[in-house]
Amino acid sequence: RGYAEVPSDKIRLNLTLPHQVNLPATTGDLGVLANHVPTVEQLRPGVIDVVEESGSTKQFFVSGGFAVVQPGSLLSINAIEAYPVEDFSAEAVRAQLAEAQKNATSGSEIDQVEAKIELEVLEALAA
């Protein structure tokens, strides 16, 4: 089974039949199983879990986007950015989080707003 793969200049998607997909929706975490009620959900920064029948899980970090559940057990995820979680260094995330926390309380109003957005994304990644 394949998922998203990121060559240097494009993303290639493969269709799979997962057992469950867990989404970080703005309305709360959402688990999607076969025959889920159709819905459209806005995604917040967080981790998408793709759970296979065997129980193994593949995780992708998304910074936002939308998930559309359609009749016939079809799920489409349109993400602004999506990366395999294993591509991130926990140490680098912690360092950037500390820097963003410092910037969120100092600098211009624009700098503080940008740092708060960065904090939201990094906190979701660090969770």
> CATH number for the domain including 37?
2.60.15.10
| 25 neighbors 17 (Cβ within 8 angstroms) | no
* Number of neighbours of residue 43 by Cβ within 10 angstroms: 22
> Structural domain tally of the chain?
2
- Per the model's pLDDT, the better-predicted residue between 3 and 63 turns out to be 63
Per-residue pLDDT tens for 54-106?
888 999 999 899 999 999 888 999 998 889 998 888 888 888 888 888 888 88
- The reply to whether 58 and 115 lie within a common domain is no
- The reply to whether 20 and 81 lie within a common domain is yes
pLDDT at 4: 53
Q: Which residue's structure tokens are 């970080």? A: 24
Domain assignment of residue 21, yes or no = yes
The pLDDT confidence band at residue 1, using thresholds 50, 70 and 90, is very low
Domain assignment of residue 107, yes or no = yes
- The reply to whether 79 and 59 lie within a common domain is yes
Query: Which phi and psi (to 5°) does residue 7 adopt?
Result: -65, 175
pLDDT at 115: 85
- The reply to whether 46 and 103 lie within a common domain is no
Kind and range of the H or E element at 41? strand 39-43
| 122 neighbors 97 (Cβ within 8 angstroms) | yes
Domain assignment of residue 9, yes or no = no
Report long-range pairs for 25-28 (Cβ below 8 Å, ≥24 apart).
25/67
- The reply to whether 35 and 23 lie within a common domain is yes
